[in-house]
Amino acid sequence: MLRRPLRVRFGLRRPTRPDPVHLGIGLALGVAVAVRWVATWHWYRTLPLGPTDNFFYHQQANLLAEGRGFVNPFAWLSGELVPTAAHPPLYSLYLAAWSLVGVDTPLGHRLVSGLVSAAAVIPVALLARRLAGDRAALVAAFAAAVTPALWLNDGLILSESLYVTLAALALWQAHRVADDPGTGSVLVLSAILAAGALTRSEALLAYPVLLVPLVLTRPHLSWRDRLVRVGAAALVALVLLAPWVVRNLTTFDEPTFLAVGPGYVLEFANCDDTYGGPLLGYWSAACDASPWPDGDESVVGAHKLDIAVSYIGDHLADQPRVVAARVGRLWGLYRPVQTADFDVFFERRPRLAVDVALWWHWATLALAVVGAALLRRRGITLIPSLAFVVIATWTAAITFGITRYRIGADVALVVLAAVALDHLLGRLPGPHADDPSRAVTVP
């Protein structure tokens, strides 16, 4: 009796073809790293740190790597180890991780800042794919790779480099919550927002203006389920923020939560120099005219906050004009050329990059308005994007109008602009006509 020959299967599968969109996103990620590293090498390589935030972050990271904790780098210059909460801790911790493996020079910290900033390409592309399909994902990926606002800060060693990627992750996760508001998805969003708040304090506003409205407006959830998810998100936030907040409350004389910065910032923003003349809506070193009281930095911060609040109270009639100027500067609508000059002089950004960034911003803003209208017409929520616009606008309104305060909103603008460009490309003659039905179908 003849038997069929024995065939042994070794579990090998025919190799699957790689997703061309994933390949495109990977290519865009490579472009993003290249753009950031070339810009850093060309413009920032020899830029002195100076007595500014970039020295603070760079040196604090190295002090952390040496096991000295969160101490004030400026006090350390005179041999003192003084606790500090001038900024939230996460960006310093990120740099410290690199310092531990030997990347501890200013140039090294500039390059790894570009690395984490470039990572924003991935969630930006995945979000655009979710909203408008494959072509939009590729448009968004390459736009995020080259948009100047998303990489101009990297060579300066500023927390915006980390925040830009956290903002992109928050936007992506927020739309996942909008489509499927399971408890797990909401908790992941809360964790991302907590990381954002531990990077830049104003990100804490994302809880009341993003997470809470997003969850409470999900129509297919009962009110009990909505409140349970909001409560669980609050619990996650408390757990993640508590170590830093408890450390600050037990370290400083005045109550300190995420940072002692508000008093310092508000004093710079509220004086005669910033309420009229060329610095209207900006900041001025002349505002910091009061003597510092004895005590730790929380005492000084509280003193400065009292001075700023007192000045605001004495000039309530000026607030509409001043706030409008601040917000106008933020969005490039009030004295935009002068604000660009300030970006070069005060922020120490390269002239060419600043000029390109201004024109790029205007084009992106116009396209983003179109993209928002398209999403609205397709029934896709705008809460995540609008939340970052609100956060940026509020931050500038109560402080001053510098363009890097817009960084979270810039991420949202890139995504919205990509949706608009995808739509415009779909209207061109050819086999790839735009099909709105493909939106919100990609996980």
SS3 category, 83: strand
Percent of the chain with pLDDT over 70: 93
Q: What is the pLDDT of residue 263?
A: 87
For residue 5, pLDDT over 70 is answered with no
Domains of the chain, by residue range, sit at 22-289+296-438
Q: What is the pLDDT of residue 2?
A: 47
Q: What is the tens place of the pLDDT at every residue in 265-275?
A: 999 999 999 99
Alpha-carbon distances, residue 310 vs 138, 251, 269, 372 (angstroms) = 50, 27, 13, 40
Decide if pLDDT at 119 tops 60: yes
pLDDT band at 262 (very low <50, low <70, confident <90, very high): confident
pLDDT at 1 over 50: no
What values do phi and psi take at 194, rounded to 5?
-65, -40
Q: Which of 32-36, 75-79, 286-290 has the highest mean pLDDT?
A: 32-36
What are the start-end ranges of the H helices in 348-406? 351-377, 383-398
State the pLDDT at residue 51: 85
How many whole angstroms separate alpha carbon 340 and alpha carbon 212?
Answer: 35
Nearest to 153 by CA among 412, 417, 363, 402: 402
- pLDDT at residue 428 in the model: 81
d(CA 409, CA 391): 8
Say if CB 36 and CB 146 are below 8 A apart: no
Could you give the CA distance from residue 346 to residue 279 in angstroms, rounded to a whole number?
Answer: 12
CA–CA gap between residue 133 and residue 284 (Å, rounded): 46
Rounded Cα–Cα distance for residues 376 and 372 (Å): 6
Mean pLDDT confidence for 202-220: 97
| pLDDT exceeds 60 at position 433 | no
Short-list 265, 217, 264, CA closest to 382: 217
For residues 291-309, average pLDDT: 93
| 50 confidence band (pLDDT: 50, 70, 90) | confident
Chain center to CA of 145: 15
Who has greater pLDDT, 260 or 373?
373
Amino acid 292: pLDDT = 87
Note whether 419 and 138 are within 8 A (CB): no
Residue from 295, 201, 306 nearest 245 by CA: 201
